[in-house]
Amino acid sequence: MDKYNPDTFRIDDYIDFFENKCKILAIDNSDLQKDLLLNLLTPEIFHELKVALTPDFDIATYSEICNKLLDLYRIKTTRYRALTEFWNCTREQNETMEHYANRLKGLSRDCGYTNDFLERQLRDRFATGLNHPDLETDLKQKWPDLVQMVDGIPREVTFQQIFTISQSREQAEQDTPRTSIKKINRSKTKTVPLHQNITRKLNPMHCLRCGKKERHSLSQCSAKDHMCKECNTKAHFESCCIKSGRAYISYSEGSRKSIKKITRPHKSSTSSSSSSICNNKEESDDEVICSVLGTRKRECKQIDVRINDIPCTMDWDPGSAYSIINTTLWKKLGSPSLQPAPKLKAYGNTNLKTKGITKVTVEVDGLQKLLPVVVMKNAKPMLFGLHWSEVFEMEFPKPVYSIKTSTPMTLKEILDKHSQLFDGKLGKVNNYYVNIHVKPEAEPIHLPARPIKFSMKKNIERELDRLISEGIVEKVDPNITPIEWATPTVNILKSTGEIRICGDYRTTLNPVLIKHLHPVPIFDQLRQNLANGKLFSKIDLKDAYLQFEIAPDSKKYLTLSTHKGYFQYNRMPFGISTAPSIFQHFLDQLLGDITNVAVYFDDIAIAGKDLSEHLQTLSIVFDRLQNAGLKVNLKKCNFLQNQIEYLGHIIDKHGIHPTKSKIDAITKAPAPSNAKELRSFLGLVNFYERFVPHLHGICSDLHDLTSKKNRWRWTDHENRIFEDTKKCITSSQPLIAFDEKRPLYLACDASEKGLGAVLFHKDSNIEQPIAFASRKLRPAEMKYSVIDREALAIVFGIKKFDQYLRGTKFNLVTDHKPLIHIMGARRNLPKLANNRLVRWALVVGSYQYDIYYRKGENNTLADCLSRLPNPETEPSETEGLVHKIDLRLLSTRMTDLNLSEQLLMKTTAKDHILTKVCQNLKTGWRESVYNPEMKPFYRNRTELSVENKILMRQGRIVIPTALRKAILTYLHRGHPGISAMKALSRYYVWWPNLDEDIELFVKKCTRCQQNRPCNPELPVFSWSIPEEVWERIHIDFAGPFEGSYWLVLCDALSKWVEIRPMKHINTRSLCLTLDNIFCTFGLPKMIISDNGPQFTSYEFKEYCTKQSILHVTSSPYHPRTNGLAERLVRTFKNRMASVDNTNLERRLLEFLFTYRNTPHSSTGKSPAEMMFGRQLNCILSNIRPDKRRLMQYLQVKENIRTTSPSYRPSDQHSKLYSSPAPVSTPVPFAPRRSNRRIQAPRRLINEM
């Protein structure tokens, strides 16, 4: 986790992020959280916090520290100010839609908006502040009232819909060619393509309207009434149209002499009173506006301005007498009152129609002025005119009279152009003074001059005279100027016989100097600046430090005491500890933004892909150095070389190599005769560690020989290693430069001895190394399990090459397959991994990478580095912090359990099972899988680790067999119950069958059994049975399941079920789905749900109120209150998972049909029968015989036979006799499979 930086993080976000990390790491101890948080503060912030909490800093709690940090660094914003900033937020020109939307969301944080109201406010502000007239017009036409019809129902347009359309429009506009924008000083330069048909040069001495040679007035010009078709303005021909680009003015030498110089009035006279401009109604016709209502056809500058606190961008046009804004911006300003504007004319003597003039507050670069501005309809672009330019002291551009085509310069021309750099004089940096700052409590130190050798006296005096003559030092008279600080000199004899005089500031000034904090670049940074170069140059600055002047107040600290008296430095001398960082800081600011340039103190290296690029960069560097006042030592410079020697390395187009002089010094070195000589040789060899992957592995025995613990001996074995080391140096391969456009690979591996990492590019399966790294394992790390060591190798490699990997997606290669899942693509923190792996997964989780598995025999470079590690490489800060956390966690556990580390280590070593487990963690689990005693440990092998010879499982101590009874007794202090004792043990200890041992221990405790209470179970009250169907319904959400959320609804009486898939589970979607269901079954009287945010929202409450529905929520943490819906969710998931059909919709229909038609256990009837009074017809209904119809038929037949009287033929004349019905008389009959009664021709029974 990175240290807190107020410029990067909001303090409240940082604390939330830190607390989330603590939850993941199971760090809930407030004291430990306090220490970790303080460790993540920079020294400056830590000091400020300490001062703010004085005198209670040491006893402050974690919450008090968090509150104080919030007080110090939280941006304090009132709601009124937040609302003002939110509603004044408008999209900047060239700002992306996504950035504008995110900016709005950030401003809304302090506005107090919540839920749907927040979305509506974001939508309204986003739509009205797009600053895109065409897009705003389209949105108004599409949704004039911000309402759309969805399935015939009016719905409000959402923020996401408007944002999506805006992004689509933005992408479509980006597909067309755009112009490039460059920023110049306070303004932006926008390059617009010139017109394709520029064919005519206009002489400024001729008529610019018709092009004729004689000058004449507008009334005499033949073009006075002509309407130009190019720009739609009068008084000039198309061939003379400058606005469209058809013509341009060419100033020759002759015409230039006739141009009169126009002197502008002094700044004070123009800016002293702005009211005169507003009130002056009578203006002359000379007030010309050069560019309004037209498309820019030339290169122009733009200025970011805030007018009445509303940001906008205006074209800088000092040729315009007034500044002009359009009516759109005027309305955004609140439509301030206007006064009559002066008469304005554009180029070609065309009158401009204005709305008026007003005063506004103008802010440029933090400076505010009350100034007049002219308002004009459809003014494009808006102009930043002459008056405003003078008020804000803009630097006016120099006139250009002619343009020459640039030709490539040669090296000689560049050197001649910058000849001042090589005049041999002492340079002086312009307008820059070095200040010396000492600690406030420092006391002045005055040391007398040291005696000098008589043979060196004349040379020393000659050097002092030279320093005085060049102004480097000056003599100080103690009678006039008190001498508080005095430093003796160190006189160094050069090979030329000259003397270099330096002050020995180690004894006086350096210990009390306040450091000048500026990073010194490392070689990897510098060589990356020279990557892909083919031509190289090197520049050496002459008398580097002496070119910087010392501030007058700081000279007193640099007084030298010599045999000739006291001298003060006027220039920055060698020897003071802050000089290197001051010098590097200045050059980084001067040359740091130039590509292909590397600066390391007074050595400047330049690279170029070709001659033209290289000379151009060289010219830019010389321009900067010359303008700064620096001087260059031409004798030590090299130009246009195929390779250069830079910082002890050879750099060429192939990469970097060791220098020949250093290689010769190594190869010709004689065998050492003592440990001191061997140490010097190994130091020289260590300089080229980056070139040889296994260098320190080869000479590891030589490193052991330099230890004071080992006796010196030089045998044939050591001599053979000595010679092999020389061969490795001479045969090393070059290292290529890092190229961010090529795929980047990092291969990591670990062995029992060390860690190795290789960073490389890969082309056509050929690995091209960029850098190698390795280090030895610490004694504690050697006891790690295999998976821990492999994970540590990844952390080591990533942190070692952080500068290459941060912000770049790379490919991570490992030969340990389990790490693919722990640190793989999804990188979800594994549930079954020890705490150390979890912490390391968090460390590497901030990088973007794809992880790949490669067999060990194919991972040769990283494997070799790990087996032959560099003993001098130290662990990174992250690795050390993780190790400290592990040890601190172990110490906390032992302290809480009242265990000593020595006792635990001793009993663990005697336990034969735990000893085997520790050994298997180092070597592997090949034979232990089949051992019954080892199986519990094998199942949890990814969670086990060894800390200080103590076995741990996810931060819990694995207790040896001999101590388990004592631990159980300790955990049972106070006689907690089984559940409480299990919970306590899971925080501290573990061993196989721990839960069973706890249960048995508690059951054997006599006191616990005697005092065990008989707690009666509380009665459960069930819901009353509704009187009607669809009176009370229970609803809930299921999912995410099968890729969707599901709304589950069940009727309390009939058990009728409705299940609908939901794309969104917000309140709006819920209400729409319920409306769809209620339109079929009607409105219920009561809805039962849980306390989900969709059900407890204000919108759902309003929905139920309008529908006269009573909404009841379940008791918190008691899901049984809504048990009907909860049980239905489980049934639905189980049934859906059991069906083989892959069609999700078909599976849902089958489930619903079966459930609705199956008798329910609580009612004895199916939900369909309870709901509709009948069973739903299914396939089985067609094969079942209709017994009811058959029984009715037999009963009717029997009744007719038993009740019909017998008639004789003579009875037909009786009154009681009725003739039988004629044959084929239709009688009612209900055939099977139909509920409708139809007429079918049948015969009566008695006629059969």
Residue 51 and residue 48: Cα distance in Å, rounded?
Answer: 5
Residue 421 and residue 415: Cα distance in Å, rounded?
Answer: 9
**Residue 31: inside a domain, yes or no?**
yes
Task: Decide which of 1237 and 345 is more confident.
Answer: 345
Q: What is the pLDDT of residue 930?
A: 67
CATH number at residue 569: 3.10.10.10
**CA angle at 517 for the pair 516 and 519, rounded to the nearest 5°:** 125
Task: Decide which of 874 and 304 is more confident.
Answer: 304
Q: In this structure, are 151 and 209 located in the same domain?
A: no
Lowest mean pLDDT among 48-57, 717-726, 1209-1218: 1209-1218
Q: What is the pTM of this model?
A: 0.42
Determine which helix (DSSP H) or strand (DSSP E) holds 124, and give its type and residue range: helix 115-128
Residue 325 and residue 374: Cα distance in Å, rounded?
Answer: 6
CATH number at residue 1042: 3.30.420.10
Q: In this structure, are 711 and 859 located in the same domain?
A: no
1046-1066 tens-digit pLDDT = 899 999 888 899 999 988 889
Q: In this structure, are 433 and 370 located in the same domain?
A: no
Phi and psi at residue 301, in whole multiples of 5°?
Answer: -100, 150
Name the domain boundary from 893, 909, 942. Answer: 893
Q: What is the pLDDT of residue 1205?
A: 55
Share of the chain above pLDDT 70, in %: 78
Residue 427 and residue 420: Cα distance in Å, rounded?
Answer: 10
Residues with Cβ within 8 Å of 562's Cβ and at least 6 positions away in sequence, in order, are 449, 460, 464, 489, 501
Residue 15 and residue 6: Cα distance in Å, rounded?
Answer: 12
Tell me: pLDDT of 881 over 50: no
Half-sphere exposure of 166 (CA within 13 A, CB side): 25
914-925 tens-digit pLDDT = 888 888 887 777
**pLDDT tier at 695, thresholds 50, 70, 90:** low
**Residues 528, 552 contacting (CB under 8 angstroms):** no
Residue 991 and residue 963: Cα distance in Å, rounded?
Answer: 11
* Residue 702 domain boundaries: 656-730
Q: Return the sign of the alpha-carbon dihedral for residues 986, 990, 996, 1000.
A: negative
Determine which helix (DSSP H) or strand (DSSP E) holds 13, and give its type and residue range: helix 11-24
Tell me: pLDDT of 288 over 60: no
Name the domain boundary from 1011, 1043, 1063. Answer: 1011
CATH number at residue 699: 3.30.70
**Residue 1096: inside a domain, yes or no?**
yes
Q: In this structure, are 512 and 424 located in the same domain?
A: yes
**Residue 493: inside a domain, yes or no?**
yes
Q: In this structure, are 600 and 665 located in the same domain?
A: no
Q: What is the pLDDT of residue 299?
A: 55
Name the domain boundary from 893, 916, 933. Answer: 893
Tell me: pLDDT of 733 over 60: yes
**Residue 522: inside a domain, yes or no?**
yes
Cβ atoms < 10 Å from Cβ of 319: 13
Tell me: pLDDT of 880 over 60: no
Tell me: pLDDT of 274 over 80: no
What is the average pLDDT score of the chain?
77
**Residue 435: inside a domain, yes or no?**
yes
**Residue 407: inside a domain, yes or no?**
no
Tell me: pLDDT of 1231 over 60: no
Q: In this structure, are 629 and 660 located in the same domain?
A: no
Q: What is the pLDDT of residue 873?
A: 52
Question: CA 354 → CA 88, 105, 317, distances in Å?
Answer: 26, 38, 18
- 693 by Cβ neighbours in 10 Å (0-12 / 13-18 / 19+) ranks as buried
Q: In this structure, are 693 and 671 located in the same domain?
A: yes
Q: In this structure, are 98 and 174 located in the same domain?
A: yes
Q: In this structure, are 599 and 624 located in the same domain?
A: yes
Average pLDDT on 724-746 reads 80
Q: In this structure, are 615 and 530 located in the same domain?
A: yes
Q: In this structure, are 940 and 992 located in the same domain?
A: yes
609-624 tens-digit pLDDT = 989 899 999 999 999 9
The residues that bridge with 974 in the sheet, in sequence order, are none
Q: In this structure, are 868 and 933 located in the same domain?
A: no
**Residue 609: inside a domain, yes or no?**
yes
Tell me: pLDDT of 548 over 90: yes
Task: Decide which of 1207 and 1035 is more confident.
Answer: 1035
Residues with Cβ within 8 Å of 715's Cβ and at least 6 positions away in sequence, in order, are none
Q: Which amino acid is at 1107?
A: Q
**Residue 1016: inside a domain, yes or no?**
no
For helices 964-971 and 994-1003, the axis angle rounded to 10 degrees is: 60
**Structural domains in the chain (count):** 10
CATH number at residue 1004: 1.10.340.70
